[in-house]
Structures are given as C-alpha cells and as structure tokens.
Amino acid sequence: MSCPSAVPSGDPKNGNGKNKDCPARRKLCSQECAACRSEEVPRPPGLTKRDIERLEKSSISESDSGYPGHLAKRRMGTPADYNNDLKNFFFNELKVAALVPKGFWIDPGAAMPRNQPSVLVAELGKQKFNAGIINLRGCTSVLVISSAGMWWAHFWEAPGFRYQSLMAGYRFNEEIFKKNVLDVLDAGCSYRTVNNDRVVTTRTTASVRCFVGGTRENPKRFDPVYAPVAFIFTPEDYEKAGQPLYAPEVQRIRDKLHEILGPGTPITTITHKTVDRLGDSPSFQLPTGAYLPYGKALLQYDPREEERDCRWWAGAKVYAEENPTPYHRSLWPARPNQLMTPAAQKRAAPDLAGLPASCSLPVKSKTSKSPTKTTSKPKSTKVASTLIKSVKTTGKPESTKQPSTTTQKPKTTHPKTTKAPTSTSKSEPKPATTTSREPPPKEEESREQKEEKKKEEEEKKKEEEEKKKEEEKKKKEEEKKKEEEEKKKEEEEKKKEEEKKKEEEKKKEEEKKKEDKKEDKKEELNAVCNAFFFRGRGETLITVSSIKGWKGGDEFRSKLEDKCGEIKHWGFKDDTARFNIKDVGRVSCVSKAVEAAGGPRTTCRAPIGA
C-alpha cells in the first residue's frame, strides 16, 4: 500500500481518498493547536484525583532517603518503581519536572501571535531535579546534556520546518529554517527568544555555541571534558516507522551539532507520532484505559545517585516515548560544586551526608581502658583521605579537634571506674589532687597523635613534592621549548645570512660580468662608419671598417637588409664593408644593423656632400 505524504502540500481538506487506511492530510503543529501548545501533563485515563495525590506524595523524585547510621540507597525513579506502568511513571515524574516552554509572543496591536523557538537551560549542580517536554505532536526538540549542564530547545513544526502560504500551501523555507532552528543552536550567548509571560516582551538566551570553547583550567559545560551527548526528538514518517518525517532538516541539525560539539559527539534521533495519529482525528479513538506516552521526554538528574568507595557519584537518565528503558544513562564522580554550596566556608567539612558509617564514624583509641568515653577523631584510612581530597576541602571536620588525652574526664567522684584511688590520682591532670610527683601518662596517647600528624604531614609533603616535580617538569618543558625556539630562530637567522651572502655574491658576480663586458667592449676595435652622398644617384656610399671580434660579413649584410632596406654594390674585404643605400636620412639604420650583428655601438658620420 502506498499512502500520500502526511505533510500537507495543498488543500488541507484533500484527504485520503478512497483508501481508508491512509492518513488524512493534517494541519501542522503551531501555537494555533491547543493540544500542541499545552504545558499541562495529560492525566492518564482511569487515574483518579486520589491516585494523583498519592503519587505526588510518594514521588521518588521529590523524596530523599534518610541515613540513620547505614546507607539507604538514594536513586532516581524508574518504571519499576511504578509496577512497570508507564502512564504512572511519566505522569508522576513529569508532574514535578521543569518543562521546556512552548514559545510564542504577540506584537503590540497584532491580531495573531508569532511562533518562536524556546530554550530551557540548567546547570547540573547540587540540586536534584527533573526536566521534560510534553505534547510533541509534530514539533522538533533538541536536548544537549553533559555532566555539567543541560540545554533543551523546542522548535515549532510551522513555520520552522514548513511555512504556510495562501497560494502554495506548506513549503520549506530556507531563511525561516535557518533563523528559527539552526541559528538557535549557533547564535552565541544572546539569542532573542520568548519570555515567560509570552506577551510583547522578549529575552535573550544562550545557544549551544555559548557553552563550548573554554580553557583547560575553566572548561565550559559542553566541552569534551564533560562528555556531552545530544538527542533530537522529531516526528515520524507515516510510511517508514522509526524514520524522521523531515529527514533532510534533521540531518542538517545533526551536522550543526557536530560542528559545534565536535564530530565525535554521540547524537540520537528519537521519533514520535504526529497529530493525525494521536487521536485528534474524530475517526481515531484510544481504547478504554489505554495510555500512549507519545510526544514525551524526561531527563532525571541526581548529584548523589550512587555511593562508591565513600564517594558520591552523580547520574543522569533520559526516557522518551513508550520505551521503558532509558535511552541514555551516565554516572560520574560528583564534583565539589555538585555536593557543596558555592559559598562554602574556608574550613567547611566535606559533604559526607548519607555515606556509610565507616566513612565518618569516630573510632576508639587503642590505649584507652575506659569503654564509656572515646575520641571523636575519624579513622585515618585511605578511603577517608581520598574522600576528603575528592571534595577539595581546605580544613578538617570539627570532630578532628582532640583533647590532649583519650581517657575519660578527670573526675574523682566516680569510684566505680577504678579499684584503687592511687590509679585514679595518676590519671588526673591536676597536680593539686595527685599524690605522685610524676606527670600524667600522656606519652602513649601523644605518640598516636604524633604518628597521625606525621602521616598527614608526609602526605602533604608528598603532594607538595609531586606538585614541585610537575612544576619542574613544566619548567623543563618550557625551557626546552624556549631552547628549541631559540635554535630555530638562530637557524633561521643563519639561513637568512647565508641567503644574503649568496645574494651579495651573485650581485658581485653580475657586476663583475658587467664590468668585464664593458672592458671587453673597450678592448674590441670600434667600428668606423663613413658615409658619402651621391647627389646625382640619390644614394649614399657607406664604409664600415674594423669589423673584427663580432660576426660581420654575411650576418652584417642580412641585418643591413632588415634595417636599411635594399643594399647595392656590396663588398667585404679585410674587415671592411662597402655598400650603397638609398636616402641619406636612413644612415642611422647602419648603426642598428651593426649592433644587431653583434658589433659595438656605432654612429655613422654625417654624409659628405649632403
């Protein structure tokens, strides 16, 4: 079966004809479509208000698990948490999500609003959140996400992908597609888009290009160090399941994203059903109790998705359409800005909330005999040290500040703690209440503290040494680079000097050659040219003598004929040529013929008898 394209190209009333299985030509998605511009999450059929209230109260996205001395895993919601019921999953998770706006605005005095692309931008920081888009029924959406941030845009089907005119119907318009789609991705940090009130005023937002091109010290959200990925949500072709309806335009969006984010950036295209296949047609009805999650996409983010080796790992997931498994799932070690407030104090402790008790609980001193009192200093384990390093804190938790002893407080009113009063008097720090002159036994306890301090100092020294080594390496590399550059400069200067010398030598040689030629010409016998004019004949007799050292002879005669015309009474003997030419005014041609034959410059004397 072959159906006409689902994209209208003429009269919208020109339907499917006799074939009932083909879709009718539809009106494209724009702000005129109430279902398309709606930002209300549709309630699934059969879901009551009580169910909605219960789901909102028990939302996994809104609740954080408690940590009473043990690790209760905190994670993002999945369809399994809703008995694999996609309608409850999407409804509940999108209900608490920040939704991508559907942009349009109204010019003052205009009768109709204007469609406009819109963008939702967010940083993946210390707050857990959901984001999503709903009611895609022909429009296209682009999501870019990394471990540092997200960028989510909505593009109207009309006029972005097809522009409607009265005469031609829906047609592709290159200028509108570039302005309403491609420029939104590549317009820098000040693209003009819709305001939240959607009336008159506008605001500027950042395009994808604004979040790339940082430095190694200060990378931007979508630089390769944060592993960005992209998704294109676009309508599906009616005849080709899973294929985009606007394949050429989608390919141009992919090319633009690769141009901005890099050619190796993963980009996934996810198709959704168009308006005419979602029940807007009166002839199409959903079965009772059915719920189709078409035209929906969900992004989940949690900076504390998992705990590994006493360290938080952040995570993100992307769900879309009727797929119960995420199209994208990523985990990464949470960075300090994703665990602590930006205005952290100088001696703020690392955010250990929710980690296992073994990561932060105090330990008893080995030398303490009293089971009732213990120190509050945390374990000096490699795990705890790596955790503290990972969050880059500048101080220690308050629990690390210790008294000088690890035994119980010096009180003499508790006889149950010791059998003899003499033992208690030794443990008291006050000299007035002790009977012995010896100081209290603090050596063993101070040794442990000293050892721990030594370990910390050694670690710091190691870190400093490593830093110094790295700095030295960098300095050496820089010095090597400088030396190489200096060598290159020296080589270039040497080459330039050599070239200059060669040029000077060439010039000298040329000058010498010129001088030699001049001298040779001086040494050569100068040709003597005499002329005598015969008035009766109208001819001039010319004699050219000293024809030696240049071609002369026949060569000279041929040049004479070229320069002076007809030659009469030619004679050549003993390096002297005699001949007649017509017209006394042409005597100068003889000197030209001499030069052409290889002789020196010659001027004939004025003809005698002229």
Contacts of residue 396, Cβ cutoff 8 Å, sequence gap at least 6: 347, 349
Would you say 317 and 329 are in contact if contact means Cβ atoms under 8 Å apart? yes
Residue 235 to residue 136: CA distance in whole angstroms: 8
Q: Are 82 and 92 in contact (CB under 8 A)?
A: yes
| Token pair recorded at residue 405 | 């002893």
- Using alpha carbons, select from 361, 359, 440, 457 the residue that is nearest to residue 406: 440
Kindly state whether residue 570 falls inside one of the protein's structural domains. Answer: yes
Residues counted in the chain = 610
The reported pLDDT for the residue numbered 228 is 98
Residue 486 in domain: no
Query: Residue 1's closest CA among 284, 236, 239?
Result: 239
Give residue 429's pLDDT.
41
Say what the pLDDT of residue 167 is: 74
Query: Please, which residues bridge with residue 316 across strands?
Result: 301, 330
Q: What confidence score (pLDDT) does residue 551 get?
A: 61
pTM of the model: 0.52
The pLDDT, as a whole number, for residue 308 is 86
Q: Compute the distance between CA of residue 142 and CA of residue 174 in angstroms, rounded to an integer.
A: 19
Give the alpha-carbon dihedral of 372, 373, 378, 382, to 10 degrees. Answer: -60
User: Is residue 490 one of the residues assigned to a domain?
Assistant: no
The answer as to whether 345 is a domain residue is no
Q: What single-letter amino acid sits at 202?
A: T
Q: Alpha-carbon Rg of the chain, whole angstroms?
A: 48
What distance in Å separates the CA atoms of residue 424 and residue 221, rounded to the nearest whole number?
63
List Cα–Cα distances, 253 to 237, 246, 261, 327, 522, in angstroms. 17, 11, 12, 19, 81
At 193 the pLDDT is 52
- Cα 91 vs. chain centroid, distance in angstroms? 34
The answer to whether 319 touches 297, Cβ cutoff 8 Å, is yes
Angle CA 202–208–209, to nearest 5: 105
Q: What is the residue type of 119?
A: V
pLDDT < 50 stretches in the chain: 1-20, 58-73, 107, 196, 198-202, 278-291, 342-350, 361-444, 525
Per-residue model confidence as pLDDT tens digits over 134-185: 989 899 999 999 999 999 999 999 888 998 877 777 889 999 999 889 999 9
How many CB atoms within 10 Å of residue 336?
15
Q: Per the structure block, which two tokens stand in for 161?
A: 């992908």
Angle at alpha carbon of residue 290, lines to 285 and 294, rounded to 5°: 85
In angstroms, rounded to a whole number, what is the distance separating the alpha carbons of residues 90 and 392?
38
Q: Is residue 9 part of a domain?
A: no
Q: Quote the domain boundaries for residue 129.
A: 34-61+74-282+289-338
Q: What is the pLDDT of residue 242?
A: 86
- Separation between Cα atoms, residue 376 and residue 400, nearest integer Å: 7
- The answer to the question of residue 239 being in a domain is yes
- Tell me the CATH number at 567: 3.30.70
Give the Cα separation of 254 and 99 in Å (integer). 23
The Cα 447–Cα 451 span in angstroms is: 6
Q: What is the edge-to-edge ordering of all strands in the sheet holding 267-272?
A: 118-123, 149-155, 140-145, 229-235, 267-272
**H-type alpha helices, 524-579:** 553-564
Residues 73-99 as b/e (b if ≥16 CB within 10 A, e otherwise) read ebebbbbebbeebbbbbbbbbbbbbeb
Q: Which pair of structure tokens corresponds to residue 29?
A: 């998605």
229-235 vs 267-272, strand pairing mode: parallel
The pLDDT, as a whole number, for residue 32 is: 73
Residues 391 and 351 sit within 8 Å (Cβ to Cβ): yes
Asked if residue 147 is part of any domain, the answer here is yes
Residue 407's closest CA among 434, 435, 429? 429
Say how far residue 59 (Cα) sits from the centre of its chain: 36
**77-123 per-position pLDDT tens digit:** 899 998 888 888 998 899 999 999 887 655 455 555 567 888 999 99
Query: CB under 8 Å, gap of 24 or more: what pairs does 379-384 form?
Result: 380/452, 380/455, 380/456, 383/309, 383/310, 383/358, 383/359, 384/310, 384/359, 384/360
Within a domain: residue 412? no
H or E element in which residue 484 lies? helix 443-523
Q: Report which DSSP code applies to 40.
A: S
What pLDDT shows up at residue 8? 46
Answer yes or no: are the C-beta atoms of 208 and 267 closer than 8 Å: no
Q: How many domains, in total, are found in the chain?
A: 2
At residue 314's C-alpha, the angle toward residues 311 and 317, to 5°, is 150
Give the CA distances from residue 475 to residues 217, 402, 465, 469, 470, in Å, rounded to whole numbers and listed in that order: 18, 42, 15, 10, 8
